[in-house]
């Protein structure tokens, strides 16, 4: 597992960690770039677009993203990661450029669906690469580093969009041009670094004697078996999917609507909106690294870590909407980032790796992420509809809190029952 990349002294798995982290940065710069600029997008398209219609921009993206999860996972197992990633990012780049040229909200919707389809190639490919190439004893911490790219990208996107578009009044399309440039850089990196199918097969054959591979993608001998529906939807797996749905719901509702919430309901202005909203993303980086280290150290307590972190994250979301001053609100946001989705996700993925069927890991990851990302289709539009109906997005936060608590309790019960059965 410590094979060097050709022409370089750096281990291949370390390059993979850096590459995938950068991939999440690129995806999340795009994902978070539009929400701070919703008023500017509205103004450029006539000024009569509702919050529901603006929230539907994110829904369109996530609809495409979710639709690609299971097909992309299946393709990763069948044809390889590189052949899935590169076409996906080409579609992603074309979509971002199309949005930059949009003259109607319908064009933005269409471009957002395409962007989601393109980005949908990343998840299964990325975590198949980590499962296959990263040494087992370094896997949780390395996964946390990879995931931190989404926090960095989210923070950068929010800050750049708020500063360039809201404060300096650059055209909102500027953020799409920045996204296109980043996507081109990533495509070059994918082509240069990721092994092709033949090289991957040779590497797996060499490492098989030392360690049985956990991800069986291009090896014909192990592709005779496929993961069964019964194993994919066993009770403990199903409740893990539900928990991930609840975790993602709160996070994507917050990512989509927090900048608007801070500006319209809490009195934040200009770059302060992006900076304050980005606190969630940046606080998640030390949280993810700290808790993944602890989870690696106390490997048999992953369920406890997951349950405690999820309940604390729910409490922080509740404190955010009930905050009576900006200081308390910002502290709650920081703690939500430190304890929330990006902190607990590496531990959930690690738990999944120990409990999921070992055959066809790409398909399993696709199903897992499909359930989680379904929430991202629902949350933006539902919260926008609530805002249009009530004049406030507070109820959207309360729904997130309830889902987190319910999902966590179900996950805990499933694992308690498993212990009793054992």
**Are the CB atoms for 50 and 388 separated by under 8 Å?**
yes
| pLDDT (0 to 100) of residue 111 | 96
| pLDDT (0 to 100) of residue 419 | 57
What is the CB neighbour count within 10 angstroms for residue 364? 24
402, pLDDT greater than 90: yes
Counting residues of the chain whose pLDDT is more than 70, the rounded percentage is 87
Average pLDDT, rounded, for the chain:
84
418, pLDDT greater than 70: no
More confident residue, 416 or 107: 107
Alpha-carbon distance 365 to 349, whole Å?
Answer: 9
**pLDDT tens digits, 200-239:** 555 555 554 454 444 444 434 444 445 667 777 778 888 9
Q: What is the largest CA-CA distance in the chain?
A: 64
| pLDDT (0 to 100) of residue 202 | 57
Q: Per-residue pLDDT averaged across 388-402, rounded?
A: 92
What is the CB neighbour count within 10 angstroms for residue 52? 18
**pLDDT tens digits, 152-165:** 998 899 889 988 98
Alpha-carbon distance 392 to 258, whole Å?
Answer: 12
Q: What is the DSSP letter of 5?
A: P
**pLDDT tens digits, 296-306:** 788 788 899 99
Exposure string for 224-252, b = 16+ CB within 10 A, e = fewer? eeebeeeebebeebebbbbbbbbbbbbbb
Which of 60-69, 155-164, 251-260 has the least mean pLDDT?
251-260
Which residues are CB-contacts of 129 (< 8 A; sequence separation ≥ 6)? Answer: 16, 20, 81, 194
Q: Per-residue pLDDT averaged across 53-64, rounded?
A: 87
Residue 355 banded pLDDT, cuts 50, 70, 90: confident
pTM of the model: 0.74
What interhelical angle do 105-119 and 12-33 show, nearest 10?
A: 160
| pLDDT (0 to 100) of residue 358 | 61
Counting residues of the chain whose pLDDT is more than 90, the rounded percentage is 36
Tokens of 99: 């949005």
H-type helices in 194-234, by residue range? Answer: 197-207, 229-232
């Amino acid at each position: 597992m410590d094979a060097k990349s050709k022409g370089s002294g750096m281990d291949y798995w370390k390059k993979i960690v850096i590459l995938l982290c950068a991939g999440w940065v690129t995806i999340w710069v795009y994902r978070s770039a539009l929400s701070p600029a919703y008023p500017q997008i509205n103004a450029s398209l006539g000024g009569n677009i509702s919050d529901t219609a603006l929230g539907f921009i994110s829904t369109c993206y996530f609809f495409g993203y979710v639709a690609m999860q299971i097909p992309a996972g299946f393709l990763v197992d069948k044809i390889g990661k590189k052949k899935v990633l590169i076409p996906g990012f080409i579609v992603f780049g074309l979509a971002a450029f199309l949005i930059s040229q949009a003259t109607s909200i319908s064009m933005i919707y269409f471009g957002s669906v395409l962007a989601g389809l393109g980005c949908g190639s990343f998840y299964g490919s990325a975590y198949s690469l980590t499962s296959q190439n990263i040494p087992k004893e370094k896997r949780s911490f390395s996964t946390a580093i990879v995931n931190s790219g989404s926090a960095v990208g989210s923070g950068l996107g929010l800050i750049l969009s708020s500063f360039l578009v809201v404060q300096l009044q650059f055209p909102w399309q500027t953020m799409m041009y920045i996204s296109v440039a980043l996507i081109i850089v990533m495509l070059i990196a994918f082509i240069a670094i990721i092994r092709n199918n033949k090289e991957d097969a040779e590497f797996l054959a060499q490492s098989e004697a030392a360690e049985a591979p956990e991800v069986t993608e291009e090896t014909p001998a192990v592709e005779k078996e496929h993961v069964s529906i019964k194993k994919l939807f066993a009770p403990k797996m199903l409740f893990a999917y539900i928990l991930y749905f609840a975790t993602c719901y709160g996070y994507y509702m917050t990512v989509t609507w927090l900048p608007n919430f801070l500006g319209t309901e809490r009195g934040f202005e200009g770059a302060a909106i992006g900076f304050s909203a980005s606190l969630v993303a940046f606080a998640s980086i030390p949280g993810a690294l700290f808790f993944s280290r602890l989870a690696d150290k106390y490997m048999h307590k992953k369920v406890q870590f997951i349950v405690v972190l999820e309940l604390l994250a729910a409490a922080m979301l509740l404190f955010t909407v009930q905050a009576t001053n900006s200081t308390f609100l910002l502290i709650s946001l920081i703690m939500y980032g430190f304890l929330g989705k990006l902190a607990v996700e590496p531990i959930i993925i690690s738990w999944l790796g120990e409990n999921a069927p070992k055959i066809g890991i790409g398909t399993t990851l696709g199903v897992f992420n499909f359930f989680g990302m379904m929430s991202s289709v629902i949350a933006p539009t539902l919260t926008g509809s609530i805002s249009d109906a009530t004049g406030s997005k507070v109820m959207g936060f309360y729904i997130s809190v309830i889902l987190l608590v319910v999902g966590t309790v179900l996950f805990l019960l499933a694992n308690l029952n498993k212990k009793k059965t054992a």
